[in-house]
């Protein structure tokens, strides 16, 4: 059966406005642990300070012309531009995978073979284990290997290569050898009609493996900057691309060569009542929920796009929860064993004395990904809103 998705991606309900910079009320050096008896006063002071800063942010930036020059791209084109930049700047870089020479299923590699030649951008057999194994050997010999797995649902035949070979290559050789030049790109998540073989979110599997980094962008600018950072990172990286956003996410992307730091979260919008954490396509849902909660309930939510799951930005999340006292984590993957549990466990340890209610998860169901029941499976706006109301009313 063909793995190609013939239909175009359905549009999301809306592309929501970007939020203000982060407002912090908790020291990075001290984490979010408060001494007994100090929470009430410290929380009130932090809330007042945050309210004042939010008021000043509402007026917008003082010098909008200071933004870096760029042009509007969708996420798919931003990925293509990042790959072209990597190939242009590194003569030892290669891009390969199923159908990549003609542009791939989602057209992310279109034009690259014509520009850089078939020796550097080429098709592979339909064999995920072989694709990643070849990438490991290429990277170990000093090349920059950018492998594409056509759908994240099919990355599992390559699981052994990633977990037992790529992740351990440097460690088992005592640092003599490594395959840090390996980046594995793969589209993941719901697409509106993909069913159980074209919709899965397997990112949590790889966060459990020391030696691998896991990166997930949600905007075109981050897609370009994070992919360039992943390609040049000294460790092997699994780079998950939210296919629902390939053409629905549009934003200004700097034209120059730039990197977004791996391991640093992005505060999408500031808030003082509830912290909402997500990644990939779920960031849009959290933005919509934050706007709806503010409009309908007067609840101010701080939205954080994690961007990197391994290593993840513990400090930014804990600073936010130290201010709001409430946390909702949302992801498309099934709830049990999802990465949201790791976030909540860490927050519960570091921010326990500042929590106003138990942290909550809004996630996919513990079932195979359905087809016609996809709207019921996904962590929707309505489900996130219920979690926000629940944590505020606790």
Confirm if 76 and 247 have CB atoms less than 8 A apart. yes
Mean pLDDT, range 117-128, rounded to an integer: 97
Of the residues 81, 128, 165, 302, only one is catalytic, namely 128
What integer pLDDT is reported at residue 314 of this predicted model? 98
Among residues 146, 155, 67, 160, the alpha carbon closest in space to that of 112 is found at 146
Residue 111 pLDDT exceeds 50: yes
Among residues 205, 232, 227, 235, the alpha carbon closest in space to that of 309 is found at 205
Q: What is the pTM of this model?
A: 0.83
Q: Which residue would you say has higher pLDDT here, 75 or 2?
A: 75
Of the residues 143, 198, 331, 374, only one is catalytic, namely 198
Instruction: Report the first-to-last Cα separation within the chain, whole angstroms.
Output: 49
What whole-number distance in Å separates Cα of residue 206 and Cα of residue 194?
22
Inter-axis angle of helices 39-57 and 314-324, nearest 10:
100
CB atoms within 10 A of CB 44: 10
Known catalytic residue at 128: yes
Among residues 212, 195, 211, 94, the alpha carbon closest in space to that of 151 is found at 195
Go through 165-185 and write b for each residue having 16 or more CB atoms within 10 A of its CB, e for each that does not.
bbbebbeeeeeeebbbbbbbb
Radius of gyration of the chain (CA): 21
Give residue-wise pLDDT tens across range 323-333.
Answer: 999 999 999 99
Confirm if 214 and 237 have CB atoms less than 8 A apart. yes
What whole-number distance in Å separates Cα of residue 384 and Cα of residue 381?
5
What integer pLDDT is reported at residue 189 of this predicted model? 96
Residue 170 pLDDT exceeds 60: yes
| Average pLDDT of every residue of the chain | 86
Residues 6+ apart with CB under 8 A from 391: 274, 326, 327, 328, 356, 357, 358, 359, 360
Distance of CA 4 to the CA centre of its chain: 24
Lowest mean pLDDT among 86-90, 189-193, 265-269, 299-303: 189-193
Residue 316 pLDDT exceeds 50: yes
Q: Which residues pair with 278 in a beta bridge?
A: 305
């Amino acid at each position: 059966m063909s793995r190609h998705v013939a239909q175009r991606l359905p549009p999301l309900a809306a592309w929501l406005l970007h939020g203000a910079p982060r407002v912090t009320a908790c020291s990075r050096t001290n984490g979010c642990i408060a001494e007994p008896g100090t929470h009430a006063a410290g929380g009130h002071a932090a809330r007042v300070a945050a309210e004042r800063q939010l008021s000043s942010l509402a007026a917008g930036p003082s010098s909008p012309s200071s933004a870096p020059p760029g042009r509007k791209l969708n996420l798919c084109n931003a990925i293509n531009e990042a790959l072209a930049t990597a190939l242009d700047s590194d003569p030892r870089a290669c891009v390969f995978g199923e159908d990549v020479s003609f542009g791939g299923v989602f057209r992310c590699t279109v034009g690259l073979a014509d520009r850089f030649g078939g020796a550097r951008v080429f098709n592979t057999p339909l064999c995920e284990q072989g694709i990643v194994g070849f990438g490991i050997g290429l990277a170990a010999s000093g090349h920059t290997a950018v492998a594409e797995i056509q759908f994240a649902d099919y990355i599992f035949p390559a699981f052994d290569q990633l977990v037992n070979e790529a992740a351990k290559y440097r460690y088992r050789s005592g640092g003599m050898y490594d395959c840090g030049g390996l980046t594995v790109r793969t589209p993941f998540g719901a697409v509106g009609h993909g069913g159980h073989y074209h919709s899965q979110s397997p990112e949590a599997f790889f966060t459990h493996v020391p030696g691998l980094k896991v990166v997930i962008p949600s905007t075109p600018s981050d897609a370009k900057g994070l992919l360039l950072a992943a390609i040049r990172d000294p460790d092997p990286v699994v780079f998950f691309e939210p296919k629902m956003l390939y053409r629905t996410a549009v934003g200004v992307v700097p034209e120059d060569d730039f990197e977004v730091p791996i391991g640093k979260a992005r505060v999408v919008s500031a808030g003082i009542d509830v912290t909402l954490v997500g990644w990939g396509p779920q960031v849009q849902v959290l933005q919509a929920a934050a706007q709806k909660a503010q409009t309908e309930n007067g609840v101010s939510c701080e939205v954080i796009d994690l961007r990197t799951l391994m290593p993840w930005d513990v400090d930014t999340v804990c600073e936010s929860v130290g201010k709001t006292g409430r946390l909702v984590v949302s992801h498309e993957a099934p709830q049990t064993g999802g990465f949201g549990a790791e976030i909540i466990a860490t927050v519960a340890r570091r921010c326990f004395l500042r929590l106003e209610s138990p942290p909550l998860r809004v996630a996919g169901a513990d079932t195979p990904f359905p087809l016609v029941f996809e709207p019921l499976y996904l962590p929707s706006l309505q489900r996130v809103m219920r979690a926000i109301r629940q944590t505020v009313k606790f």
